[in-house]
Structure 1
Amino acid sequence: MEFVLAFTGSRGDVQPGLALGVQLRALGHDVTMAVPPNLADFCRRAGIPTREFGADTKELLDSALVSSELKSANPLTRLRALARLTVRDGRRTQTELLELTAHADALIGGSVGQERLLNVADARGIPYVPLHYCPLRRNSVASLLPLRAAPGRAHHLSWTALEQLTWLATRSAERELAADLGLPPPTSPPATRIAQRGVPEIQAYDPVLFPGLAQEWGHDRPLVGFLDLTPQTRAMIGEDSTDLDDWLGAGSPPLYVGFGSMTIADPDRLARTFTEVADALGLRLLVAAGWSEFMAGESSDRVRVVRAVDHATVLPRCVAAVHHGGAGSTAAALRAGIPALVCWIGADQPMWGRRLDALGIGVGLPVTRLDRVTLTRAVRELLRPERAVAARRVASAMVAPHEAVRAAAALVEVSARTPVGAGPYRPSRPSRGGVR
């Protein structure tokens, strides 16, 4: 079969999709990755045919729309920004995806930009298979609320409210985008329309983190586990961290710090905070500078700064991790069996911080509250022996990466055979190559 895997966002949004694409290609299918221009080479180095689509993620994250309006304290400002983000470059990305899916049997993609992916799939008359990295639909287990003891119904109502508010903010933009493809105007939120199509929404995170959620959602939203690249694929993309071996082996396990694609406000102050706290606690620091190049040039005997690391091989050699709470970073620290401090900025990050806290394996803290006192207190909490024991226990219960990827690929294969209505752009000839 022929699959197009389209992902917008940061590397954390693209990498699980790439892991799935590598597995589908190994099974004999034709696979094309469609990703932002700044992440295209990353996918190509993995040996997967890749096309650029949409906006450059780094430019988008640095724009006022995302860095300011979408993070505004005013809810109305955030909703207006969300509406603008929905339609931003919408026509261009839909046109690009329409071309890419001319012979596709299914379109796979994340929750970012799901409106456009769903439109293109409907226009082509093919299934859209969602890949989610955290709970995004109504449920009574995972909370949008910062209340650990909130009843399940409160969780459910919070998701319902978010879904309806988002729909009210984006409805007009969605109808414009649908009309461009000759589709009828949508009358319900994307979550409702996706559920009506009978295709499972693959939950690419571990069921051990949300007890009871797999049972509540059943086959509609199967929890397969976190998707990750194989060591072979990491070597192909040039993420071998063997150059760190000597430094890691020359002293005690370091504290890992990495904020991924997040933009750091006042990075110089934050760098001083980390070095002062590490010195006071007698810790070495391993810093992954990421897109923001945080602490670049700070390397010394006790501080090592690199652009990126192979989480799978490096994090197990660290005493604990400090990260922004992206699903990928969270998964990496969990698999390594080390406690983590989530210094969250927004989106799903606070949820991950609360989950780690509830499981006794981490702490959540808004990055705006990060100073010498709060960081010292949080890191000391991570260094408590019982935190390390709990982290290792959770790691041992997680789904292995290869099992998660295989399960996701099997669901994609089944979903591609799910009958859907023929859309206005469905090609008359069958897909090329691959197995059926």
Structure 2
Amino acid sequence: MLGLAFELRTHGVDVRMCAPPDFTDRLAEVGVASVPMGFAVRELVASKPSPAEVAAALVAEHFEVVGTAAGDCDAVVASGLMPAGVRSVTEHLGIHYVLAALHSVGLPSLHRPPGPRPGKPFPPGETDLRVLWKIDAERVDALYREPVNTHRAALGLPPVGNVRDHSFTARPWLAADPVLWPFQDALGFDVVQTGAWLMPDDRPLHAELVEFLDAGEPPVYVGFGSMQMASAPDAAAVAVEAIRAQGRRVLVSRGWADLAPVDGGDDCLVIGEANHRELFRRVAAVVHHGGAGTTTTAAVAGVPQVIVPQIVDQPYWARRVAELGIGAHHEGPTPTVESLSTALELALRDDTAARAAEVSATIRTDGAAVAARKLIDLIDPHRKTTTPPTPADGSG
């Protein structure tokens, strides 16, 4: 979303972002006006409240916080697992609305079944995708329809009968690279695939990290981002042992799992936040959870990947990386030294590295620019937009 914000600002468009309070500091760091909204994600994941309570509270935030923040705006771009209620706010304000998905797990398709949601179970043995996606819509309604329609009534808006499809609109945007996440045959939707939204990042790598990188052969990076790795509390120790078994140095990113050093070995460095677009060009492989951003950034860098998927879209990213030959899919969310070593052996092969470099040249880096132009054309069809050319190395 910040990638889109940056592109819009290059065209003189003001941007205001509603986001969980976890990200207030990052938004301030890059100078994007922010409005804290909803729960702190890290605390929410740890507390595990009931889905119905979370759904009702988020709908209220969408109507109240987004409703106020968007009062003087021309359009709202919504994302998230289910931003129910945001479209209602734009209807009330008489402004444009776009639903942007970073993956298509929740978009009805004739090629795959819905992902997991709480609620009504699927009939045993049912394989008709139309039936399964209808039940998926019913699950969304069970969580969101009552609070959405209660707030709509307060604004004088009529009720909606299918919250999922109302939130998606007939033309949702898919902000994912078509090589990494090809999508076709949407069931009842005209999906607009823009390419992934990448944010420019000119933050320098800190001195200790540069010194470590310069001190030897490229290390293997391991980090699980916002995943807390509850099923793998020893993930750091397992990863370090498996990487060392390949004769490689180790770079551990703490992340929300708070990965920590396992010993004082000088072949291992633990880091915090870093510029992945720069860092991944200097490592031998990236071991991660398979988030949309990390997967795409590693693919752009041309570095082999090992994905240990945890939730939602991550198993698909893992399968796709394996299909493309640019890395390994670790089966299951809990790595062992043996299972991770097997995956690393594949990722660290010369042919995998060559394939990763080959595929990197096919990954689009202009997705945010494409989306910004589409959004500006939606708001003001007569306004001309110009976008600086993307550097050949994909760094723009």
- TM norm structure 2: 0.84
Partner of 1:74: none
Instruction: Give the AA of the match of 2:140.
Output: T
Residues 273-352 of structure 1: pairs in structure 2 closer than 5 A: 273-295=238-260, 300-352=265-317
| Match of residue 201 from structure 1 | 172
**Amino acid in structure 2 at the alignment position of 1:172:** E
Q: Cα deviation per residue 1:278-298 (whole Å; 9 max; x = unaligned)?
A: 222211111111123212575
In 2: Cα distance, 1:353 partner to 1:158 partner? 24
Alignment of 1:415-430 (within 5 A): 415-417=378-380
Distance 1:368 1:222, change over 3 A: closer
In structure 1, distance between residues paired with 2:339 and 2:380: 52
Amino acid at match of 2:255: G
The match for 1:139 among 101, 109, 118 is 109
Are 1:269 and 2:269 an aligned pair?
A: no
- Alpha carbons 2:220, 2:283 under 8 Å: kept: yes
Q: Does the aligned pair in 1 maintain the 2:231–2:333 contact within 8 Å? A: no
The question of whether the paired residues in 1 share the 8 Å contact of 2:236 and 2:261 is answered with no
Tell me the alpha carbon deviations over residues 114-147 of structure 1, each in whole angstroms, 9 at most, x when there is no partner.
113122112212121122111131224566589x
The offset of 1:91, in angstroms, is 2.0
How far the C-alpha of 1:216 sits from its partner, in A, is: 6.6
Residue 363 of structure 1: which of 305, 317, 328 is its match? 328
2:16 counterpart of 1:47:
no
**Structure 2: stretches of 5+ with no match in the other structure:** 117-126, 386-396
Q: Report the equivalent of 1:14.
A: none
Give the secondary structure class of the aligned counterpart of 2:378: helix
Conservation of the 8 A alpha-carbon contact between 2:7 and 2:372: yes
The aligned counterpart of 1:28 is: 12
Q: Of the candidates 126, 140, 146, which is equivalent to residue 172 of structure 1?
A: 146
Render the CA deviation track for 1:208-249: whole Å, top value 9, x for unaligned.
1244x36879994222222122134xx3xxx64454222112
The one of 182, 185, 196 equivalent to 1:226 is 196
Does the Cα contact within 8 Å between 2:302 and 2:357 map onto a contact in 1? yes
Higher relative contact order (CA 8 A, sep 6+): 1
The residue correspondences of 1:64-75 to structure 2 (distance < 5 A) are 64-65=48-49
Q: Which amino acid aligns with 2:10?
A: A
> How far apart are 1:369 and its partner, in Å?
3.5
2:55 maps to a residue whose letter is: T
1:251 corresponds to: 216
1:129 equivalent in structure 2 = 98
Query: Structure 1 stretch 113-122 or stretch 301-310: which is displaced more?
Result: 113-122
5+ residue gaps, structure 1, are 1-16, 66-80, 147-152, 419-434
Q: CA deviation at 1:160?
A: 4.7
Compare the two structures and name the one with the higher helix fraction.
1
Tell me, in whole angstroms, the C-alpha distance in 1 between the residues paired with 2:343 and 2:154. Answer: 50
2:79 to 78, 90, 110: 110
TM-aligned CA distance change 1:144 to 1:48, over 3 Å: same
Which amino acid in the other structure matches residue 13 of structure 2? H
CA distance in 1, matches of 2:325, 2:131: 26
CA contact (8 A) 1:325 1:344 kept: yes
After superposition, give the CA deviation of every residue in 1:334-372 in whole Å (9 maximum; x if it has no partner).
111122121111111111111112222233335544111
Partner SS state of residue 208, structure 1: coil
- The amino acid that maps onto 1:394 is V
1:181 corresponds in structure 2 to: 155
Residues in 2 aligned to 1:156 and 1:246: alpha-carbon distance in whole angstroms: 55
TM-score (norm 1): 0.77
Between the aligned residues of both structures, percent identity stands at: 27
Matched-pair contact (CA < 8 Å) for 1:86–1:174: no
Post-superposition offset of 1:306: 0.5
SS at match of 1:265: coil
Report SS of the residue matched to 2:85: helix
Q: How far, CA to CA, are the matches of 1:119 and 1:109 in structure 2?
A: 12
RMSD (CA atoms): 2.8
Counterpart in the other structure of 2:374: 411
Quick check: 130-139 or 184-193, which moved more? 184-193
With over 3 angstroms needed to count, the CA separation of the structure-2 counterparts of 1:141 and 1:315, relative to structure 1, is farther
| C-alpha separation in 2, matches of 1:129 and 1:276 | 46
Instruction: Give me the whole-angstrom Cα distance separating, in 2, the residues matched to 1:385 and 1:142.
Output: 33
1:158–1:349 distance in 2 versus 1, CA, 3 Å: farther
- Is contact 1:132–1:203 with CA below 8 Å preserved after alignment? yes
Provide the aligned length of Structure 1 versus Structure 2: 371
Contact 1:145 1:158 in 2 (8 A): no
- Stretch deviating more after TM superposition (312-321 or 52-61): 52-61
| Aligned-partner Cα distance in 1 for 2:194–2:348 | 30
Structure 1 residue 19 displacement after superposition: 1.6
Distance in 2 of aligned mates of 1:351 and 1:339 = 17
After TM superposition, the structure 1 stretch with the greater mean CA deviation from structure 2, 324-333 or 286-295, is 286-295
Shift of 1:165: 3.0
**1:393 is the counterpart of 2:358:** yes
**Cα distance between partner residues in 2 of 1:91 and 1:219:** 27
Q: Which moved more, 1:176-185 or 1:101-110?
A: 176-185
Checking the alignment, whether the CA contact within 8 Å between 2:177 and 2:195 is kept in structure 1 is yes
